[in-house]
A and B are shown apart, each in its own frame.
Chain A
Amino acid sequence: MIPRAIQLLWLMGMVVLLTCCSGGHNQSPPQAQIIKLWVGPNEAEESFWKVAVAQWNASGQGLQVSFTTIPTSGNSEETVLSALVAQTEPDVSTNIFSGFAMQLADLKQLEPLSSMPGYADLIERRHMAKLIGSWQINGTVYAIPFYSNPALIWWRADILAKYANQKIPRTYEDVYQLSRRYAAAEHRYGFQVLAGRGWEDRWFDFIALYYAASNGRAYIENDKATYDNADGLKVAAFIDRMYEQGWTAADFDAGDPLVSGMAAGAVHGPWDLGTFQRMYPETMKNIVIGPIISDAEPEAHTATFSDSKGIVIFRSSRVKKEAFAFISWVLGDEHLNLLWLQKTGMMPARDDLLRNPEFADFFNTHPAARVYATYVDVAFPPALNENTIDIQKVMTQELLGPLVFRTKTPQAALDDAASQTDRILRLRQ
């Protein structure tokens, strides 16, 4: 029997805890004016920001900036969310993908950047007029894209030399032919169709292929799936045929298929250029880069998916204008854009990468990066929708799953995925 005093103590402890922890949103004491910045948690980005922030602080153009990498061991979104709930968020954060920006904007946590003084000038100065269109939420921009990385296909040149007459596959038929020959000769696979099992992997398989087939047409519009059409069917039929013939595997978890030669081609972004150069230099010597496959004309400038991250200012910031001045300076400065390119290998989100003489030397000495730069203008970001995860989970389970396991025809899988997406988006409204 627990004595009454102990029971009381326990109860009091509970009350104190509930009182303390249910805490209101008390104002924190005023701090010295400083712009707090979180940046992507990787060495390359950190090295860029170290230089950029030092330059800004030395220039005396505005408030001092203090930066750290997003303190995460998992994904950035959870850390940013936790910080917002705990009211420990910075003023500015990079590394925000468009779907997450949409969620945060919906929760009224982001400052509308398009109403900041100097916004229009920044868009013009950075040549972003075309790119920024796909980041608008009802005409308002909450996150400005920092970089835009087109997804392209890497091919093993030595395998193409043996089985494709050194020709980089551009069409479905090219991939079928290569796969047929490679499978017959070496019992291996022509192309890694599925990028992985996660919902985010759909950006690098179905969505990239759909953008290529449809010339960048939206797959979600007005909370409805729009990929159930002739272009969607072409992509579904391609995936279906690859699995029907055994020309691709259900998973390539054992290791990178290009390194092992298990597949002749796979989708990669420019961030992998540095990684492969460091880890697999021999494989890298054999890599050639081509567009996402489609049934377009051989010389067509094929559209693709853009893995793009933006920069935001949180609504709680007390230095919004000063923070925007810093953002404008970083984004608008061509030297810093070049530095970003040199440090990270990722493409600054601007339309003039190949026209601007500032970047000419870099692209002349980095031919692989140049290929990526040529696709920035036809690289489209994900659909701006706060239900990104559900939309792409449906693609995985209702569209790709049945095609991989051959339980539905391409048309039936497309129909079911689209109607299931519509149903979920209707429920979430």
Chain B
Amino acid sequence: MRAFTGKMSESHIGALLALSYLLFSAIFWAYPFIWLIILSFSDWRFFHAPIFSGLHNLVVVLRDPEFWGGLWNVVRFFSMYFPIAFVGSLGFAFGLKHVGRGKAFIALCFLLANISSGVAFSLVFTKLFSSTGPINNMVFSRFGFRIPWMSNPNLAMLAIALVVAWKFIGYYGLILYSGLQTIPKELYDAALLDNTPPFKRLVRITLPLINAQLIMVLVFTILVSFGIFTEPYLITGGGPLGRTNTPLMIIYETAFRRLQPSHAAMMSVIVAAVSYLLIRITRRLLEKDVKLA
């Protein structure tokens, strides 16, 4: 064994170890992705060989108002989801930092939401918050009105943002908490000696020093915004008035209900390109190289 490893350089061993990941990527990422690109520029309806169709699919997709509506809904979702998830996870991280006992238990409780089935909690949410559900019945008996969480065009997206935020706050919070742990206590001690008020400490010390974690959370929220499917599909079905219809739902319906997979492939490529670009821009503008002396 020693003789065998002796002949191999460290880089060879590393490369061999990485091979499984490379193979996994080749099968489950690169191969489908190459097919996706081929289909995007082809006419294909499942049963014949793809025929090159140039930019036809692009023209069809760009002329589809439902697709544009889906992209706009991503913006709407992000504008509600990000502040809720950001403030919530930051609060969770600060809270966790100040908890004495039971830290692991509290973190686990929040993480349970993250690992629980999206289908299950979407169904529970639908029953609880229905306009004829128990919460609305209680509100009606007390105040004489009902809150149309899922049937009002403006409230429906907020309801979905709340559900998704509930799922991810614990996860994002732990990322931010790991950042908070790396900030030296001496910095806060020095700030206290200078009588720096709490808000200033937050803005001048804490947030800049957890920039890497904040960017990570921001990137995750962008990815979630482009990738949500289960919650709107089960809770609102894309309605009311198409206000919660997301690109993934449109792609799914276009491929498997309208039986137009090459249109769906082009939509996927556009969505992937837009989300990738947004993440690049976000990192370029906001990412800072933080170094503690």
Residues of chain B with a CB closer than 8 A to A405's CB: 152-153, 240-241
Measured CB to CB, the nearest residue on chain B to A197 is: B237
CB pair A6 B15 closer than 8 Å: yes
When the two chains form their complex, are residues A107 and B133 in contact, meaning their CB atoms are under 8 A apart? no
Are B31 and A17 in contact (CB-based, < 8 A)? yes
1/0 per residue, CB under 8 A from B, across A89-131: the answer is 0000000000000010001110000000000000000000000
CB of B259 closer than 8 Å to a CB of A = yes
Q: Which residues of A contact B153 (CB under 8 A)?
A: 401, 405
Question: In the bound complex, do residue A13 and residue B140 qualify as a contact, i.e. CB atoms below 8 Å apart?
Answer: no
Evaluate whether A254 and B133 lie within 8 angstroms (CB atoms) in the complex, with A14-B26, A18-B31 already known: yes
B131 with A249: CB separation less than 8 A: yes
B19 engages A6 (CB within 8 Å) = yes
Contact indicator B132/A253 (Cβ below 8 Å):
yes
Q: Are A401 and B12 in contact (CB under 8 A)?
A: no
Complex contact B151–A250 (CB within 8 A): yes
By the criterion CB–CB under 8 Å, are A389 and B46 in contact?
Answer: no
| Cross-chain contact of A401 among B16, B241, B253 (Cβ < 8 A) | B241
Q: Are B132 and A85 touching (Cβ within 8 A)? A: no
A-side contacts of B146, CB under 8 Å:
249
Whole-angstrom distance from the CB of B13 to the nearest CB of chain A?
11
Q: Please, what's the 1-or-0 string for A55-81, where 1 marks a CB less than 8 Å from any CB in chain B?
A: 000000000000000000000011001
Are B259 and A10 touching (Cβ within 8 A)?
Answer: no
Determine if A251 is an interface residue (Cβ-Cβ < 8 Å): yes
Q: In the complex the two chains form, what is the Cα distance from A262 to B130 in whole Å?
A: 12
Contact with A along B22-38 (1 / 0, CB 8 A): 11001100110010000
Whether B236 is near chain A, meaning CB under 8 Å from some CB there, is yes
* Given A3-B11, A85-B46, A252-B132, A103-B259 contact (CB < 8 Å): yes
Judge if B256 is at the interface, Cβ distance under 8 Å: yes
Q: Is the CB of A17 within 8 A of B131?
A: no
B22 in complex: contacting residue of A10, A187, A257, CB < 8 Å: A10
Q: Using Cβ atoms and an 8 Å threshold, which residues of chain A touch B239?
A: 197, 396-397, 401
Which residues from A are CB-within-8-Å of B105?
A: none
By the criterion CB–CB under 8 Å, are A107 and B132 in contact? no
Contact partners of A250 in chain B: CB under 8 A: 131, 148, 151-152, 240
- Docked pose: A387 CA to B254 CA in angstroms: 11
- The residue from B47, B128, B240, B257 contacting A85, defined by CB atoms under 8 A apart: B47
| Residue A404 is within 8 A (CB to CB) of chain B in the complex | yes
Complex alpha-carbon distance, A252 and B23, angstroms:
48
Closest to B30 in A: A14
Which residues of chain A in 247-273 are interfacial with respect to chain B, using CB atoms and an 8 Å cutoff?
Answer: 249-255, 257, 260, 262
Please measure, in the bound complex, the distance between the C-alpha atom of A32 and the C-alpha atom of B198, giving whole angstroms.
Answer: 80
A319 within 8 A of B: no
Chain B positions within 8 Å of A279 at CB level: none
Q: Is the CB of B256 within 8 A of A254?
A: no
Q: Say if the beta carbon of B134 comes within 8 Å of chain A.
A: yes
Give residues 230-261 of B contacting A (CB, 8 Å). Answer: 236-242, 253, 256-259
5 further A-B pairs in the complex, CB-CB below 8 A; given A10-B23, A81-B46: A85-B46, A108-B47, A197-B240, A253-B126, A405-B152
> Chain B: residues with CB nearer than 8 A to chain A?
11-12, 15-16, 18-19, 22-23, 26-27, 30-31, 34, 45-47, 63, 126-128, 130-134, 140, 146, 148, 150-153, 236-242, 253, 256-259
